[in-house]
Amino acid sequence: MSKVFGEGIYSAYRQDGILHVRATGLKPTAQTIVTIEELPFLIFPPRLGLFFETDGITNPVVLPFDVERAFPNYPAHVTVVNIVDKNGVHTINIVEKPAAAASLLIADPAAAQFVVYQQIGTDHYLIAKSDDVVLAIYYKVFGPDTYANCQAYVAAHARPIIPAVEVVPGTFSAWINRQPGVEPGPRFIATVDAIVEVDWNVTLISAVPQGFNPLIKLLRFDVQLPPGPKHSNALIRRTFRFEESPPQHPFTDSTIENGPGSITTPVREVF
């Protein structure tokens, strides 16, 4: 059986917190099976791959294919998905579609019969009627109440979009300090340089949720913008530092979420 990277044209959308990825194109034989799979790389956000799998006697007739797969656990705040095929990495924008339950809303939105659900392990919310059936990846966090009050709850609890900062290439470093005499014991440390506006209040913090792989320490930039519509637009290079003692896990890598992208570095041990 031969399984190799294929070639296709891609699109992606998110509905009810679930990522759907579609690939179309041509496959080399009638027997070729086309699949979209999550790659086993320790990277955030997860990367997907398009594969052609052929087995046995084949009929070398080029045929079109159209496949789609859902990924329920893809990070809710990430706006792009990276797909690897024979031509390299393709970055696809994720189109946000209205909740499927929205079409089931009755004519009286003032009635106290709506519920807010939150997707497990994410900050993605879904509003549905109290008697609607929702996927098991959601749990109830508010209601029943009016539709307007449910919208207000989501607006108050949803994490705001965090702007990306310009990371200086090659400056991200992470290590666990196990040197004798260090109090109160081993300490995880990460540093990175970035270009930010002088009036931005930026700190490097631990990401919540931590991520699907406990061996990767997930960080993010917390960016607090100044009040008002105007900015100084003056840029400055700053070094950001994160420390955690004791380390939560024997981390092998660390990743910084930065807007729709991320950067990863291995974690060293210092004795």
pLDDT at 192: 96
**The Cα angle at residue 209 between residues 137 and 119, in degrees rounded to 5:** 20
Looking at residues 242-262, what average pLDDT do you find?
84
Report the residue count for the chain.
271
The model carries a pTM of 0.45
Nearest to 92 by CA among 11, 9, 19: 11
Amino acid at 107: A
* Span 95-133, pLDDT tens digits: 988 776 554 444 466 677 888 888 776 667 788 888 777
Using the predicted structure, report yes or no on whether residue 1 has a pLDDT greater than 70: no
pLDDT at 229: 58
Three-class SS state of 22: strand
* pLDDT averaged over every residue in the chain: 83
d(CA 12, CA 92): 7
Residues 6+ apart with CB under 8 A from 112: 143, 144, 145, 146
Q: What is the rounded CA–CA span in Å between residue 226 and residue 196?
A: 13
pLDDT (0 to 100) of residue 247: 79
DSSP letter at 199 equals T
The two three-digit tokens of residue 267, written as one number? 């974690």
pLDDT in tens, 40-89: 776 778 889 999 998 877 777 888 888 999 888 888 888 999 999 998 88
CA atoms within 13 A on the CB side of 142: 20
- Name the strand (E) or helix (H) holding 191: strand 187-197
Percentage of the chain beyond pLDDT 70 is: 86
* Best-predicted range by mean pLDDT (84-93, 144-153, 182-191, 259-268): 84-93
Q: Which of the residue ranges 9-18, 61-70, 93-102, 246-255 would you say has the lowest mean pLDDT?
A: 93-102
Looking at residue 159, its pLDDT comes to 63
Q: Are 231 and 197 in contact (CB under 8 A)?
A: yes
Give me the pLDDT at residue 104, please: 47
Cα–Cα distance for residue pair 150/124, rounded to 1 Å: 14
What confidence score (pLDDT) does residue 16 get? 82
Instruction: Tell which residue, 181, 196, 182, 174, has the closest CA to residue 243.
Output: 174
* Coil vs helix vs strand at 180: coil
Can you tell me the distance from the alpha carbon of 199 to that of 92, in angstroms, rounded to the nearest whole number?
A: 32
Q: What per-residue confidence (pLDDT) applies to 103?
A: 46
C-alpha separations of 33 from 56, 67, 85, 211, 236 in Å: 12, 10, 15, 31, 52
Inform me whether the pLDDT recorded for 239 exceeds 90.
yes
Q: Can you give the pLDDT at residue 23?
A: 92
Confidence of residue 193 (pLDDT cuts 50, 70, 90): very high
pLDDT in tens, 122-170: 667 788 888 777 777 778 889 888 888 888 888 777 665 566 788 999 9
CB under 8 A, 24+ apart: contacts of 139-145: 140/115, 140/116, 141/116, 141/117, 142/115, 142/116, 143/112, 143/114, 143/115, 143/116, 144/112, 144/113, 144/114, 144/115, 145/112, 145/114, 145/115
